[in-house]
Structure 1
Amino acid sequence: MTKQEDRCRLVLVVPEEDDAQALAQKLEAALSGGDVASVIVPQYASDEQVFQKRAELLLPIIQDAGAAGMIAGDSRIAGRVKADGLHVEVVAELVETMEKFTPKLIVGAGGASDRHRALEIGEARPDYIFFGKLDGDIKPEAHPKSLALAEWWASMVEIPCVVMGGTDGASVIPVSETGAEFVALREAVFSHPQGPADAVREINSLLDEKAPRFGA
């Protein structure tokens, strides 16, 4: 166990970017900055061909850095690019996806918009549940609803949860205080004024200093 695994860890969400090479450079820089548990690569509005090329470029970078590469979108592409896992946003697809891909791949679930939906997702026993939207970092802080759901979930369910943070890296601390195992960031890292590497470095320092320790 690394020292980071006893507190909330960072998950990166790759932003939407037309220039795949520039995106790859930013991702490589971010991963050089310190501990990252996993990276979610969303499809956004890309067609299958564009998304596959982007995933083929990014997945080796993620895996070489020791993080888990998660595809949010087409499960066929996840297979072709040898992803570590799938992030499923449509709850109706979750059971089928899990039957097909676990335990070969990590399968995580988004779409937990309220407690009822979260419990429905929990019945399928995914590897994690995600509170918030992958592109939901529109304010400096994490969404209050996501924080409330995470605090409720972490207090009663063993399945790990990931919470989407805000555009400010400091938003990781309120997320960690809910008991969530992971905090996801996108703009806070990839649009950081000093660059993605500094962002990840600063965020890990913050978490090391201020995040509660599990089991403490």
Structure 2
Amino acid sequence: MATKPVPPRPAPRLYLATPVVDDPAQLAADLPDLVAAADVAAVLVRLRETDQRTMISRVKALAPAIQNAGAALLIDGHPELVARAGADGAHLTGLAAMEDAMPSLKPDRIAGVGGLATRHDSMAAGEAGADYVLFGEPDAKGQRPSAEAIAERLQWWDELFEPPCVGFAVSREEACEFAAAGADFVLVGDVVWADPRGARAALVDIGQAIRQAHAKTFGKAGAAG
């Protein structure tokens, strides 16, 4: 078999969204095992809206469990809390929110962005310095595009742009579809926490499934990534 000069394309990594955090104690106990069990690159901490001091203390309670396991900790929204809570970055929804947050996050911290309704918005986010773009998350009304539309957007982005793209998957099947479409990361949340087998088993299963889907599409070399 001829050797190709391009390195094998790595399989997508997992990006785990927490349930909305009220009491972080149980989650802090569970996370090290979860992050170690599958290839989790980052954890998105979703906070219950309350006063800043409480939200910061909740992030700080979770930080060691995430960061000591080698994953990045991002806060869903609240870029103003990132530095004080010791987080690695924030996930912003919409171009305006991302642009507002950039001065407080850059150059040291991660600024990811979702809520990008159009291709134009997606390109503008990339040009403005987004560290990743997310496609497929529900909007404020809980509506989201079809899996086919999300996969098509991921494929488009993957072929043309440098920053990583993330697919928000609500099922194992979607996770596989997005891996095959060229997602660099697959964001999973409720599909893991609601699984009757338990979050760990669900996460391991989805991790294996996206590696297989990736290998099937991009070749076996990437399956080890």
Instruction: Tell me if both proteins adopt one fold, taking TM over 0.5 as the criterion.
Output: yes
| 153-162 or 93-102, larger mean C-alpha shift | 93-102
| Higher relative contact order structure (alpha carbons within 8 Å, sequence separation ≥ 6) | 1
Partner of 1:194: 197
RMSD: 2.8
Partner of 1:169: 172
TM-superposed CA distance for 1:64, in Å, is 1.0
Partner of 1:75: 79
Q: TM-score, normalised by structure 1?
A: 0.84
Q: Distance in 1 between matches of 2:9 and 2:137?
A: 24
Q: Name the amino acid aligned to 2:201.
A: D
Equivalent of 2:163 in 159, 166, 183: 159
SS of residue in 2 equivalent to 1:183: strand
Query: Once the two structures are aligned, what percentage of the paired residues are identical?
Result: 30
Shift in alpha-carbon separation, 1:205–1:43, aligned structure 2, 3 A: same
Q: Distance in 1 between matches of 2:154 and 2:15?
A: 15
The answer on 1:115 being equivalent to 2:119 is yes
1:76-122 superposed Cα distances (whole Å, 9 cap, x missing partner): 32111211112121411323433442221111111211212112212
Q: Distance in 1 between matches of 2:33 and 2:152?
A: 32
The answer on 1:86 being equivalent to 2:93 is no
Give the unaligned 5+ runs of structure 1: none
Q: Distance in 2 between matches of 1:28 and 1:60?
A: 9
| 41-50 or 147-156, larger mean C-alpha shift | 41-50
Q: Distance in 1 between matches of 2:137 and 2:210?
A: 22
- Count of residues paired in the alignment: 210
Q: Distance in 2 between matches of 1:45 and 1:144?
A: 33
TM-superposed CA distance for 1:174, in Å, is 0.1
Q: Distance in 2 between matches of 1:209 and 1:202?
A: 11
Partner of 2:211: 208
Q: Distance in 2 between matches of 1:191 and 1:142?
A: 21
Q: Name the amino acid aligned to 1:185.
A: V
Partner of 2:68: 64
SS of residue in 2 equivalent to 1:116: helix
Q: Name the amino acid aligned to 1:129.
A: V
Q: Name the amino acid aligned to 2:109.
A: L
Q: Distance in 2 between matches of 1:117 and 1:135?
A: 15
> Contact conserved, 2:24 with 2:58, CA < 8 A, in 1?
yes
